[in-house]
Structure 1
């Protein structure tokens, strides 16, 4: 039997995508620094990619350095149902069908073995988008904790999908286009600001849609929900969610020291841009990155490239080899790289925090991934927004309409053209023109730093979560003890 006064020992399962792995790794470090024991589970594929990106020919334990600092984190892997060499990006739907139907069997086997080997394991911290947490948690008597790595606004839109459906704003042959003002805790939102999957009209049974339906039915059984957001940025939305379930805003979950001493969980080898940036004047460089997952058409790449040329602004552009697709790697305009020598740097990947925290960087042209937004706020860098898919459309609303810390690259209904790209870049990098946006970033940055402080709301919420979790662990152990004694 487990001991009543046990400290939390959590098995953590991030979703197998870069934007989810990063906050999970940061959360693991934060929890371990606060007395938790952690068993961290990446898929074999993700683990292999991280090891390869770090230049290792054999798989490496990303937490080995953390253990030298006496943090109790062990690293294990689980098979996702596909071979290592399977192209998950190119075969997107097939991969997510496997995540939906096959992956839970591998998880069940792994968790069963882990719990048998170590009866002190008492809780499960799982990405909200998995469909199996309540089943696994119940089977092994583990506290069920869901970690949502995106903002609370995105969470509540998925949570209230049925409201959107019943009102004809989602899953209708002709989705309504008027303002949505009936979601609890959300004053209003336009349909074009819903996540891409909630903007669908007829194709609403894709593998990802079915994952969303099942995972948000499953979330209602979670014991606790923790979210990588800041309470002061989404006060009303979070208050409304808390009427339904225990929900703790503990973000932003950053690595210890932010720019120093963090663990590399990148899926790609990272270029060091520091020396190049050191030669540029403060605030003169635009950083351009569209994240780790989304694909962009060759036409859009061409307009952005020509917009950068026309702007005459210094820039670093992260261009993954698979940014267009896994089988098309020649996508830049002819002669582009020769035209930008001296003022432009193209890399396939970099350590983003190092770049945007550098004083030479004055703006970020982004896809509006939530990690990128939080990091930009922390560094006081204003944004140019060009959302591509999933939560990014909703995140754009938070950045441009609500927080007012960025501008749109183009209007929602406009075609992206190089002249417009150039105009927006020059506006943002010219400090005098974009002074209002820059002042607002400073204010929001202060809110973020206050939340992260010793007496800040994020720390208060984290400590309350820790206290409530320990009470729930004790309750689960007592229930199990009574059942055990009843059998004997």
Structure 2
């Protein structure tokens, strides 16, 4: 199955590319939480004079086109951004598709392990075919690929181009995966010496101390032979060979971790990437994989600071029991709420998982929608709190908007993100844990955050953290400077000249 070309704005025109400017091939990991920051990174590079080819999988493209109700054969996610760009020249962003090795009708959510095996063994061959066409001039080209891919360093070497590893999660999590061998050596993960140790981990560079239950779910697992573990091991073998790492974080929020990683390799904290904030190609990228409901009218009708927003993100699943217990707690709290519940939150086989009678019981104070524009919802004056799975994009968006979080992590990085939110920044509270969520705790936590003393303290702490995040992203801020340094280095490396040489 070859890739399918989208005939729009020069898309598919790899062969005729001018080589006067540096060319970045940006390849997004096929999940919404990864596509969003990758697409915004592509725009930021284009705004800085790069020719960019953005590569999406056919499957993600198809789902996005379906969400928007447009023809997938003619659709290009950057069309809006090009049209709204305030640059003298239109942004040079091409859009290409690659097969992930499965037919479009294959249910990737229901057949998770099979899909991941394809990611491990099949995707690289499709990407290699595409790169053969796109890499016309290796001297001016770089490969910017999500760290979780298992092939970027290998393919970059094969084509003679630098590999920029794009990490869409906090530096803390990159650091822990980067030092999996240390965790194994000390018996905290994947140990041949028996069950993993449960004492505090104090030996990871740049991490003062972390509890085993705060590690990513995959590092808490006792079986490290699953397909996801094999992907992580291979991806970080490749990441060790990356020329540069770009991280969607802010130095002031993770100072010791970022410093430790900089000692390992060229590591740039350039966050937050992935939601509009003006500047380089801010908005106009259509990346939602579900049709978005407009909730603004409903929110406008609610009192300021009264609404709990609930969303478990674009990927992780909850059990029907967890959903029912959460719903019972939301009802018992008496709070107004807006719940974004994507259709496959429990399973794509279970389209209506809320408890019977929930809609009637919450009529007048609650709204359930399949999906919405989260950045817009969080920015609304009616918002008082966010019950979240703690995906990294959600955490950054909530901090940016100054909304305190109730943290219910489900898998992967979310447990470690909760540690940052609750323990380090003190801008959220824990609310149950996987398989252990209790309606009375949910209800009490919601009341505490929305109208109690707890909420006041969280909002006070949030003001400081939000200020750090916004200062880093502002002109002259640490993330902006870091991105400038990265662009200079990459421009120099990719034959564009004019950039300062920052590293020898």
Q: TM-score, normalised by structure 1?
A: 0.93
Q: Which residue of 2 aligns with 1:63?
A: 78
Q: Which residue of 2 aligns with 1:423?
A: 444
Pairing 1:37-76 to 2, within 5 Å after superposition: 37-59=51-73, 60-68=75-83, 69=85, 70-76=90-96
What are the Cα deviations for residues 141-193 of structure 1, in whole angstroms up to 9, with x where unaligned?
21210100000000000000000001000013311000000000000000000
Change beyond 3 A, Cα 1:140–1:414: closer
Total equivalences in the alignment: 471
Q: Does 1:195 align with 2:216?
A: yes
Q: Which residue of 1 aligns with 2:333?
A: 311
Change beyond 3 A, Cα 1:343–1:38: same
Whether the 8 Å contact between 1:128 and 1:219 is mirrored in structure 2 is yes
Whether the 8 Å contact between 2:81 and 2:283 is mirrored in structure 1 is no
Q: Does 1:240 align with 2:255?
A: no
Shift of 1:432: 4.1
Q: Which residue of 2 aligns with 1:129?
A: 148
Shift of 1:6: 4.5
Whether the 8 Å contact between 1:289 and 1:319 is mirrored in structure 2 is yes
Among 92, 98, 102, the residue aligned to 2:122 = 102
Q: Secondary structure at the residue paired with 1:434? A: helix
Among 325, 328, 334, the residue aligned to 2:356 = 334
Shift of 1:254: 3.7
CA distance in 1, matches of 2:362, 2:486: 50
Among 263, 266, 280, the residue aligned to 2:302 = 280
Pairing 1:250-261 to 2, within 5 Å after superposition: 250-257=270-277, 261=283
Q: Does 1:262 align with 2:276?
A: no
Change beyond 3 A, Cα 1:372–1:255: closer
CA distance in 1, matches of 2:296, 2:361: 22
CA distance in 2, matches of 1:148, 1:20: 9
Change beyond 3 A, Cα 1:124–1:398: same
Q: Which residue of 2 aligns with 1:483?
A: none
Shift of 1:30: 1.3
Whether the 8 Å contact between 1:177 and 1:191 is mirrored in structure 2 is yes
Q: Which residue of 2 aligns with 1:221?
A: 241
Shift of 1:354: 0.8
CA distance in 1, matches of 2:20, 2:358: 60
The ranges of structure 1 where at least 4 consecutive aligned residues each deviate by more than 6 angstroms after the TM superposition are none
Unaligned runs of 5+ in 2: 1-16, 498-504
Computed over aligned residues only, the root mean square deviation of the Cα atoms, in angstroms, reads 1.9
Pairing 1:399-418 to 2, within 5 Å after superposition: 399-410=421-432, 415-418=436-439
Change beyond 3 A, Cα 1:119–1:471: closer
Shift of 1:332: 1.3
Q: Does 1:368 align with 2:390?
A: yes
Deviates more, 1:252-261 or 1:50-59: 252-261
Whether the 8 Å contact between 1:5 and 1:474 is mirrored in structure 2 is no
CA distance in 2, matches of 1:451, 1:207: 37
Q: Secondary structure at the residue paired with 1:338? A: helix
Unaligned runs of 5+ in 1: 477-488
Q: Does 1:380 align with 2:394?
A: no
CA distance in 1, matches of 2:304, 2:348: 36
Among 468, 471, 492, the residue aligned to 1:471 = 492
Q: TM-score, normalised by structure 2?
A: 0.90
